[in-house]
Amino acid sequence: MNLRARLAPVALAGTALLALTLSACSSSAGAAGSTESAQPAAYAASADTIVFGVVPDSADTQTNYQPLMDYLAGFKGKKVCFVDPSSTSGYLFPSYNLLKAGIDPQKDVTPVFAGKHDISVQKTGEGTECEAGFAEDSEVAKSDKVTVVQKTKVPGAPITVSDTLPADEKAQVEKVLANVTIDQIIAAGIKGADSDGFRSVFYATSPVDDKYYDLIRDICAKTHATQCQ
């Protein structure tokens, strides 16, 4: 007797990093071992204002891909939902995972760009436009119509401090933000931190070195993604 199982639509959850990182940025970064050219101290706005530039998409650390590779070979020839060609967790990492499994994300599957993580989950759950898909785990968790195959953690976006900021104030910003959790921010009386919106994009910060982003470099090298150029 032969038994056949009907697979439910699949969502692969790319986990957005909740532990943000802190690093310094400079417009005059030199080669390894060289000293940075001195820049005059300056404020982006004023002495009592710290200006932040925020990367719209973030994520965290490295992962074990073997279970994903073992499964993805049912993906070849399928209609697969991605988020957006410019999305790290919604396209770049999924493409990397597919390539590691021997599947060309542009030739071996029919890509469908949903535009948003929740729409990718929705379309995958409906099982018409997409037979499988990729989305952040926070959105996947809201649906009972998809099955999680594998979660992939990717390095998160950094909080950076400009080298033009006065040295003592740069050091103070780095000290305050080097290790801070959302609970500490709430405890400090920042009421806006205790919200679903803030919790969806922030968990904690943790100092890292440049090697933290080696996985991203490898992905860019393997996928030849235009957004890495």
In a domain, 99, yes or no: yes
Tell whether 208 is covered by a domain: no
Cα torsion 87, 89, 95, 100 to 10°: value is: 160
Question: Is the residue at 94 inside a domain?
Answer: yes
- Per the CB < 8 A criterion, the answer to whether 47 and 92 are in contact is no
* Structural domain boundaries enclosing 77: 59-153
- 79-82 and 10-15 beta bridge pairing: unpaired
Please report how the helices 214-223 and 93-100 are oriented relative to each other, as an axis angle in degrees rounded to 10.
70
What is the distance between the alpha carbons of residues 11 and 9, in angstroms, rounded to a whole number? 7
The structure tokens listed for 69 are 């590779």
- Position 144 in a domain: yes
Residue 153's pLDDT is 80
Q: Is 186 inside a domain boundary?
A: no
> Is residue 119 domain-resident?
yes
Q: What is the CATH number of the domain that holds 108?
A: 3.40.190.10
Type of residue found at 93:
F
pLDDT at 177: 85
pLDDT at 1: 27
- Is residue 122 one of the residues assigned to a domain? yes
pTM (global) more than 0.75: no
> Which positions of the chain have pLDDT values less than 70?
1-41, 43-74
Task: Identify whether 38 is part of a domain.
Answer: no
Structure tokens at 118: 């929740």
pLDDT for res 187: 92
* Bridge partners, residue 135, by sequence: 13
**Of 149, 148, 147, 171, which Cα lies nearest the Cα of 161?**
171
Q: How many independent structural domains does the chain possess?
A: 1
**What pLDDT is stored for residue 22 in this prediction?**
34
How far apart are the C-alpha atoms of 104 and 30, rounded to whole Å? Answer: 36
